[in-house]
Amino acid sequence: MEEHGGRRWPLVVLASSPFHGHMTPTLQLAKALHAHGFSIAIAHSNLNPPNPSNHPSFIFLPLSDNLSTIDDSGSFRTVAVDLNLAAIVFRSSSAAYFPAYLVRQQLHQEGRFLEQDYVMQEMVPNHHPLRYKDLPFSKSPVEDWQQLVAIISQSIRPSAVIWNTIKVLEHEALTQIHKHYQVPVFAVGPLHKIAPTNPPTSFLEEDTSCIAWLDKQAPKSVIYISFGSLMTLDKKVLTEMACGIAKSNQRFIWVVRPGSVCDSEWTEFLPEGFIEETRERGLTVKWAPQKEVLAHFAVGGFWSHCGWNSTLESISDGIPMICQPFNIDQMVNARYVSYVWKIGLELEGLESGEMESMIRRVIVDEEGEEMRVRAIGMKEMVKEAVQNGGCSYDSLEELVGFISS
């Protein structure tokens, strides 16, 4: 326990995987709990460590092993069990991912879902709105971590679970989660709107020239393109993207992370003439201040891999999306964005003609405007959820009460 303004508050230790998309919401949750008076310690791996100078009031606990694989990470599992601490699981994916993950596991176990089924368009029986192709797959380090969380959840039997989502948005999936865990479920998202804005949580350097450039563009005229912090893409797909962007004749900001393109350090993959041809109407950057970009009046669409943080950020700012999911929970999120919430279009093929048409449909066509109207409705829903008396606000208050008790 620590002193806080004359009161004694418990220390909350948050342990996160090293991925940007996990660490960012963990730090946001930490900031929200800190604003409610808790002392905070962040246990982190040495891979992608957070910057302690951004959070002078937190304690940082580097874990001695490198935690780069699921096998190295026993410490997370055992600390809470060994010390007999109350443990709460925090998930930074969509709630809808959880039942989809369970369905996939079950189908696998029953031998009813084989590798080739991952492209099937048919609906999974009794699991509306999911098609087989929406089910989570891939053997990536992130999925190892997802599995690790599942293992931890079972071995420590959490006393509660926290989800970075909004009850009114994912009510059904949250009910399934509650049935599964049989413990209180707190939906406190979107955390980037619940937590105090400062200090910043990004640990990559943001190219803020985007904002000055956006200031000079017409309202809703720019498509923002980013595939998050982890995806690596094949040159062929990126070349198609470049052609689609060029042919669309629309304004754009394109985030290309150095190292995210196979066999290319940065933008060497771009077709000859692309930069000159698009100089007047486009910007290519290494890492953008994404939340500020999405909040800017000039942005009219977001072409995204549908990572959950990006999806929540897009919803929170009422921006329609072009969905290009690759793995893990991204297909589930894309399915909800395009088919259930109808605030985005899903790319079916990876060729420039379709990409060009998608950009125009979102930025120029009436269809884009209709999606924008629905997306703005969702933005209002988010605003209400995080206000005093809203469902996420109340859920955070309940979580604070739960931890304090």
- Check residue 324 for interaction with ligand UDP (CB under 6 A): no
The reply to whether 229 sits near ligand UDP by the rule CB under 6 A is yes
Q: Phi and psi of 72, rounded to 5°?
A: -80, -10
- Length of the chain, please? 405
**Who's near 270: CB < 8 A, 6+ residues apart?**
238, 239, 242, 284
Q: Which residues, at least 6 apart from 48, have a Cβ–Cβ distance to it below 8 Å?
A: 18, 19, 20, 23, 203
Smallest gap from residue 30 Cβ to ligand UDP (A): 15
Q: Is 145 in the site for ligand UDP (CB under 6 A)?
A: no
* Interface with ligand UDP (CB under 6 A), residue from 16, 45, 221, 310: 310
158 binds ligand UDP (CB under 6 A): no
Q: HSE on the CB side for 45, CA within 13 Å?
A: 21
313 binds ligand UDP, rule: CB under 6 A: yes
228 binds ligand UDP (CB under 6 A): yes
Please identify, among the stretches 105-113, 225-233, 236-244, 380-388, the one whose residues bind ligand UDP according to the rule CB under 6 A.
225-233
In the complex, what is the shortest distance from the CB of residue 122 to ligand UDP, in angstroms, rounded to a whole number? 27
Task: Please report whether residue 174 would count as binding ligand UDP according to CB under 6 A.
Answer: no
Q: Which of 137, 163, 274, 308 binds ligand UDP (CB under 6 A)?
A: 308
Question: Measured from the CB of residue 402, what is the shortest distance to ligand UDP in angstroms?
Answer: 26
Q: Which residue number, 24 or 395, has a Cβ lying nearer to ligand UDP?
A: 24
Instruction: Name 341's Cβ contacts closer than 8 Å, sequence gap at least 6.
Output: 315, 374, 378
Query: Residue 177 contacts by C-beta under 8 Å, 6 or more apart in sequence?
Result: 95, 98, 99, 161, 163, 185
- Between CA 341 and CA 323 the distance in angstroms is 13
Q: Which DSSP helix (H) or strand (E) runs through 23?
A: helix 20-35
Q: Find the binder of ligand UDP among 21, 99, 320, 390 (CB under 6 A).
A: 21
Site string for ligand UDP, 178-207 (x = CB under 6 A): ------------------------x-----
Cα–Cα distance measured from residue 226 to residue 357, given in angstroms and rounded to the nearest whole number: 18
Which residue reads 């997370």 in tokens? 76
Residues that bind ligand UDP (CB under 6 A): 19-21, 24, 202, 226, 228-230, 255, 287-288, 290-291, 307-310, 313
